[in-house]
Structure 1
Amino acid sequence: MVLLTEEKKQHIRELRKKAMKLPLHPGVYIMHDKDGTIIYIGKAKALKNRVSQYFGSDKNHDEKVRRMVSNVEYFEYILTDSEFEALILESSLIKQHQPKYNILLKDDKGYSYIKVTGGDWPRISETKQVLDDGAKYIGPYLSAWTIKDTVEEARKIFRLPSCTRKFPQDFGKGRPCLNYYIQQCCAPCRGHVSAADYQEAVQEALDFIRGGTSDSVRMLTEKMNEAAENMEFELAARIRDRIAAINKLKERQKVVASRIEEQDVMALVLGGEKVSIQVFRFSGGRLYDRESFILTGDAEPEQIRSEFLTQYYAIRDKIPPVVTLDGAANDSEVIAEWLTQKAGRRVKLHIPVKGEQKQLVEMCRTNAAEALAQATGRSTGRETSALDELRQLLNLPKTPEYIESYDISNLAGGENVAGMVVFENGRPLKSAYRKFKIKTVEGQDDYGSMREVIARRFEEYRAAEKAEGFGRLPDLILLDGGKGHVSAVRPLLQQMQIDVPVYGMVKDDKHRTRAIAEDGGEIAINSNRAAFTLVSQIQDEVHRFAIGYHRQQRKKSSISTTLTSIPGVGETRARALMRHFRTLRAVSEATEEMLRQAPGMNAPAARAVYRYFHAEEAQEAEQP
């Protein structure tokens, strides 16, 4: 959280006064820090309205904007004739200055080549450099992903080695690797494959890479028929297996296809200050390239999409007629106009809501989530996807990496307790779980009990010195209950000036998670699979934890009632006995001497407790 000094607040007020004097005109604004470095560049349809927003109230700003504003020393601006011209100028200036608080995209694609080493045992690999090393290079190709994937598939189909062993030097040295046993390598390391057969497999793999699956199948079918006619049945069987492998690959490729002949599909996933963006590129209705970007930034998704689109296509020559997005982008009409002008034909920005295109967007999002999980190492792709899905579903300002959930448990108003569980990055953080005994509410008043628990939790937040445990603000609070619980808690948080989103978790008649509750009604989550699974897990966990604590308290209460029914033993002495002996059974088995030596006990009380648990023995001893 950004804390501003009084001097800095005064400086921001001065910047606002200057911003209010700007014209209501399209243009580009440029923010500088105290060293004169450009830290942010933006565009506006009306400069006065847009720039003055930065220096007004920060309640509607996300954390990134607050940090940026706190570092602004001064700003300048450039007027343009239209918002369209402002977009082009903004894109050019961002590329030139690379400001810290803009989404920055680097063009590191380059070209890829297929490298075929020389000698009797050539190797096939993908590379980005052409060296003078005697190898043969095929290319260049624009799509590194396609070439890398194709080379890998060719090696599997034609059973070529991908290890680092050298042939013939390493013949017979060590056992074959796993690829041989799963029939993805012919294992020339065994020394049982002739150089001629190996070279033939390499050539067939290169034909497959150059000609694609259809041409490769046709040529291999001719070879298989010829081998069968010459009664070379072993060779024919080997070629048959290669054809089967290629056909299997073709069937798998059909899954990633589009009815739209040429389009790009984009999706993003937010994770703290990291943004993962995935781009699927289609041509001829088939996926031909995939690009993955991990960027730094925590702006609103609409702003991220806007900045990414302008930077991505500023460094791309090929612009498809359709760009399919997973959500809205700021200034989408202006961006579409710019893309249309750049492509020389109409370009449409499309946000699908159902059908094949929606499925493609979801697949793209899943891959973006997996890339973010790999980059951060904090969660799996499934957990990252669930958190981002929950952010979108609840329209949260940031990904809810730290979620607190609360549940009240009692029996007819007795032993009123609450449980708090924490999920960090989609996983239970059990070290942060907390238990509450309700102190100020009597009887069965779940709303009052929830208010007490939330009030105590955030009083602890204000008193905490470290930003951990109760000293950390959650990104989201989920209450086990409906909109009544939400309505009971939200005014309290507003009164305490705690800005944390609060929602309820609603169950159906079979006690299964059904929806998320808010003040105005409910949000159905059944169609959002990842978010639904996560919320169900949180609700089940907080219910389990609260009920477990309630049962524990009931058991203690039962034990306490047993001891306080003994003459001379009150609640204080009963608690002291339980702390000393741990269990009621240990108390019952203790001798009178052991009871007398326990803290808080005296001889009469010890005798009374002993006789209570040994009444039959005492009666037998008194009989003549």
Structure 2
Amino acid sequence: MDRMERLREKARNLTDMPGVYLMKDNTGEVIYVGKAKVLKNRVSSYFRNNSSHNEKVRKMVSNVEDFDFIVTNSEFEALVLECSLIKQYNPKYNILLKDDKGYHYIKVSDDIFPRITAEKQKVGSGIFVGPYTSSFAVRQAVDEANRVFMLPTCNRKFNGRKLRNSRPCLNYYIKQCMGACTGKISRDDYNDLIKQAMDYIKGGSTQSVEQLTRQMEEAADRLDFEKAMELRNRIKAIQKVAESQKIILDEHKNLDVIAMAQNGLVVCFVILKFREGRLVDKVDYTIKEVYDPIEVRSDFLARYYSTTQDIPKVVEIDEQGLDTALLSEYLTKLAGHKVTLFAPQRGEGKRLIQMAMNNAAEQLSYKVKRTGREVAALDELTRLLGLSRTPEYIEAYDISNLGDSGIVGGMVVFENGTPKKSAYKKFAIKSTDTRDDYASMREMLSRRLSRYKEEQETGEGFGRLPDLILLDGGKGHVAAVGEVIDSFGLEIPYFGMVKDDRHRTRAIARQGGEIAISTFKSAFSLVTRIQDEVHRYTISYQRKVHKKTTFELELTKIKGIGEKKALALFRHFKTKTAFRQADVDEIAKVGKITTEKAKEIQQFMNNIS
């Protein structure tokens, strides 16, 4: 019995209970851990003949020599156990959370008048606080401390005296720097400010305000009103910074906002952490070889929160379709308090999700070397159409004709959100000589997919299948093309691009209805560009065909010149000007006609406009 048959047989004997399965390679190493509501069905699906697995799963299955399983009483228990086993074995084919970040530090230099700076490494002498995993949090903390306590951020060196031949910089005059360069602050007072700034960084604004308030009251009791006023101003500065950081949230909320951007097989998750109403951190993770957006969201959430103790009471996510009840129960168990997981659809929550999505798109754009706008448009289109993966390679089709003559089709290609003009194709419609857009579209797609069958081994041009097909038309065009794609046994998502009375993109047509698109700005912009481009390209081709046809018809008016001779002459000379400038002998040779007939053609061309 071969390996696959042995695995199929073992899987057929599994229970219908929930549980966890562990795939192992020929060395006995666990290479994948998964959970299942019904073990028998889930595990059997890996070893079926002709299974439509993605490349990552096929690769994993090809390395499976055996599997083990653990039965649980519920799907929730299976989820808990799955996360525990993933942490234990760290399997090759499970999600690995790597955030591409090193450690970051807050440094207090050992100068006479120290500086507080954000550093990526422990370089040079001084006091280092950290390490921190988030550069965002470190930079924000340092910037706030320097601003609140009016610490210098320039490159000047201070010694307690006024610097010669030097005037204070602009920050001093706009009251964002104390002006240590003026010599008006003592070293002791300066170091006291540095200590207060570091207390602020370590303890936060609430603790700093309480401490400074006590000092202000003590100064007032000593009748040191100048010091009390100075401390009062510092308290106001801290409160002002805190307020400016709280503008996103209306309340003192603790929540995580999580969004995902996808480009091809690469996804990026961004987590925005809000604590006491303030954005205190941004964490991002890039994961490769991803196919199912819903599955990867579920796996990411479970894996991420199983590795951290900082779990807020509210987690907002960017996508519905997840088993939020199951994941909420799991997060509640991890956190020791109730955790609500949901996808907000309006208001402040929706705005925060959009903010996280924008960050994820920008972060991913660096990884895939595309602009954030392109990544966001493709990601939004993926969500809107319910696609299982980002459509990196999009083909769009249009039909153009003038009455019943010159019927042509055009195909344009957008790769990663931008036109790929080298892949554009033209089609002269042959199956119908009447105005039948559905028949023309069927012919165009049939010819294109037939070429795929012939050239698929090349993986280029017609040998590459699109991730998405868009048609200039409505539900009728979608139905017509669906028949063709099904007849080839292919699974390619296809939709229509519907225009309004003013010839502007209005909606996406699908089987059974339409999808409104105007409120999805990034996707709307991309689809409009694609529709305009395929229309432009097809019309341009149709005009050339019409011009050629008219020219040929003019030549056939000459006695003795039929369609074949007219076509040969047109292909050689192409324009009327070329005809007029041609030598009579050349015309005779190309058309295989007598010199007298060639003179007649030349005279005819000179007399027409």
| TM-score, with structure 2 as normaliser | 0.84
User: For each residue in 1:30-64, what CA deviation from the matched residue of structure 2 results, as whole angstroms up to 9, or x when unmatched?
Assistant: 11234433221101233112212222365554443
* AA matched with 1:83: E
User: For each residue in 1:367-413, what CA deviation from the matched residue of structure 2 results, as whole angstroms up to 9, or x when unmatched?
Assistant: 11111111111x21111111111111111111111100000000112
Q: In structure 2, what is the Cα distance between the partners aligned to 1:591 and 1:615?
A: 17
Which residue is equivalent to 2:33?
41
Which residue is equivalent to 1:175?
none
1:401 and 2:401 aligned: no
Which residue is equivalent to 2:163?
none
- Offset at residue 209 of structure 1 (A): 6.8
- Offset at residue 335 of structure 1 (A): 2.9
Q: In structure 2, what is the Cα distance between the partners aligned to 1:543 and 1:243?
A: 63
Identity over the aligned pairs, expressed in percent? 46
> Contact 1:113/1:128 (CA < 8 Å) preserved in 2?
yes
> Contact 1:161/1:185 (CA < 8 Å) preserved in 2?
no
1:338 and 2:322 aligned: no
510-519 or 256-265, larger mean C-alpha shift = 256-265
User: For each residue in 1:320-359, what CA deviation from the matched residue of structure 2 results, as whole angstroms up to 9, or x when unmatched?
Assistant: 1111111246554333223212222111111111111111
User: For each residue in 1:130-171, what CA deviation from the matched residue of structure 2 results, as whole angstroms up to 9, or x when unmatched?
Assistant: 67x5402345667542112333566689695578x9999xxx
* AA matched with 1:402: Y
For residues 147-162 of structure 1, what are the structure 2 equivalents within 5 Å?
147-152=138-143
Which residue is equivalent to 1:301?
293
* AA matched with 1:423: F
Which residue is equivalent to 1:105?
97
For residues 143-292 of structure 1, what are the structure 2 equivalents within 5 Å?
143-152=134-143, 210-211=199-200, 253-257=245-249, 259=251, 261-292=253-284
- Offset at residue 588 of structure 1 (A): 2.2
User: For each residue in 1:418-474, what CA deviation from the matched residue of structure 2 results, as whole angstroms up to 9, or x when unmatched?
Assistant: 110111111111111111110111110000000000011011111114101111010
Which residue is equivalent to 2:45?
53
* Number of corresponding residues: 581
Which residue is equivalent to 1:327?
319
- Offset at residue 72 of structure 1 (A): 2.3
Change (3 A) 1:613 1:150: same
Change (3 A) 1:260 1:46: farther
User: For each residue in 1:589-615, what CA deviation from the matched residue of structure 2 results, as whole angstroms up to 9, or x when unmatched?
Assistant: 334345345463431321211222356
Which residue is equivalent to 2:428?
437
Q: In structure 1, what is the Cα distance between the partners aligned to 2:357 and 2:508?
A: 23
Change (3 A) 1:198 1:56: farther
- Offset at residue 247 of structure 1 (A): 9.7
Which residue is equivalent to 2:110?
118
| 1:414 alignment partner, one of 388, 393, 405 | 405
> Contact 1:111/1:140 (CA < 8 Å) preserved in 2?
yes
Which residue is equivalent to 2:72?
80
1:606 and 2:584 aligned: no
> Contact 2:265/2:389 (CA < 8 Å) preserved in 1?
no
Q: In structure 1, what is the Cα distance between the partners aligned to 2:549 and 2:145?
A: 70
DSSP-derived class of the 1:269 partner: strand
User: For each residue in 1:552-591, what CA deviation from the matched residue of structure 2 results, as whole angstroms up to 9, or x when unmatched?
Assistant: 1111112222222222333333333334334211212334
1:485 and 2:474 aligned: no
Which residue is equivalent to 1:503?
495
> Contact 1:515/1:523 (CA < 8 Å) preserved in 2?
yes
> Contact 1:101/1:297 (CA < 8 Å) preserved in 2?
no
DSSP-derived class of the 2:111 partner: coil
Q: In structure 1, what is the Cα distance between the partners aligned to 2:567 and 2:191?
A: 81
| 2:440 alignment partner, one of 449, 452, 462 | 449
DSSP-derived class of the 1:270 partner: strand
Change (3 A) 1:17 1:123: same
Q: In structure 2, what is the Cα distance between the partners aligned to 1:468 and 1:156?
A: 56
Q: In structure 1, what is the Cα distance between the partners aligned to 2:10 and 2:439?
A: 49
| 1:592 alignment partner, one of 556, 581, 584 | 584
User: For each residue in 1:100-145, what CA deviation from the matched residue of structure 2 results, as whole angstroms up to 9, or x when unmatched?
Assistant: 22111148878753102222464432246667x5402345667542
* AA matched with 2:305: Y
Which residue is equivalent to 1:237?
none
| 1:524 alignment partner, one of 502, 506, 516 | 516
Change (3 A) 1:139 1:105: closer
Q: In structure 2, what is the Cα distance between the partners aligned to 1:152 and 1:97?
A: 41
364-373 or 62-71, larger mean C-alpha shift = 62-71
| 1:318 alignment partner, one of 303, 306, 310 | 310
For residues 348-359 of structure 1, what are the structure 2 equivalents within 5 Å?
348-359=340-351
Q: In structure 2, what is the Cα distance between the partners aligned to 1:21 and 1:499?
A: 32
> Contact 1:417/1:436 (CA < 8 Å) preserved in 2?
yes
400-409 or 32-41, larger mean C-alpha shift = 32-41
Q: In structure 2, what is the Cα distance between the partners aligned to 1:244 and 1:574?
A: 88
> Contact 2:429/2:443 (CA < 8 Å) preserved in 1?
yes
User: For each residue in 1:1-25, what CA deviation from the matched residue of structure 2 results, as whole angstroms up to 9, or x when unmatched?
Assistant: xxxxxx9xx6434422211211122
Q: In structure 2, what is the Cα distance between the partners aligned to 1:593 and 1:267?
A: 72
| 2:450 alignment partner, one of 442, 459, 481 | 459
DSSP-derived class of the 1:567 partner: coil
| 1:515 alignment partner, one of 500, 504, 507 | 507
Q: In structure 2, what is the Cα distance between the partners aligned to 1:63 and 1:45?
A: 24
Change (3 A) 1:121 1:80: same
- Offset at residue 80 of structure 1 (A): 3.2
Which residue is equivalent to 1:561?
553
Which residue is equivalent to 2:224?
none
User: For each residue in 1:186-213, what CA deviation from the matched residue of structure 2 results, as whole angstroms up to 9, or x when unmatched?
Assistant: 9x9xxx9567789899986885675478
* AA matched with 2:371: T
Q: In structure 1, what is the Cα distance between the partners aligned to 2:257 and 2:415?
A: 30
> Contact 2:293/2:389 (CA < 8 Å) preserved in 1?
no
Q: In structure 2, what is the Cα distance between the partners aligned to 1:414 and 1:314?
A: 66
- Offset at residue 493 of structure 1 (A): 0.9
Q: In structure 2, what is the Cα distance between the partners aligned to 1:203 and 1:127?
A: 22
> Contact 1:568/1:608 (CA < 8 Å) preserved in 2?
no
> Contact 1:155/1:162 (CA < 8 Å) preserved in 2?
no
Q: In structure 1, what is the Cα distance between the partners aligned to 2:143 and 2:296?
A: 34
| 2:360 alignment partner, one of 365, 368, 388 | 368
DSSP-derived class of the 1:587 partner: helix
Q: In structure 2, what is the Cα distance between the partners aligned to 1:63 and 1:108?
A: 25
The root-mean-square deviation of aligned C-alpha atoms, in Å, is 4.1
User: For each residue in 1:477-508, what CA deviation from the matched residue of structure 2 results, as whole angstroms up to 9, or x when unmatched?
Assistant: 00000010010011111111121111101011
- Offset at residue 273 of structure 1 (A): 2.2
Q: In structure 1, what is the Cα distance between the partners aligned to 2:450 and 2:530?
A: 24
Q: In structure 1, what is the Cα distance between the partners aligned to 2:59 and 2:352?
A: 36
The gaps in structure 2 that reach 5 residues or longer are 160-169, 217-232
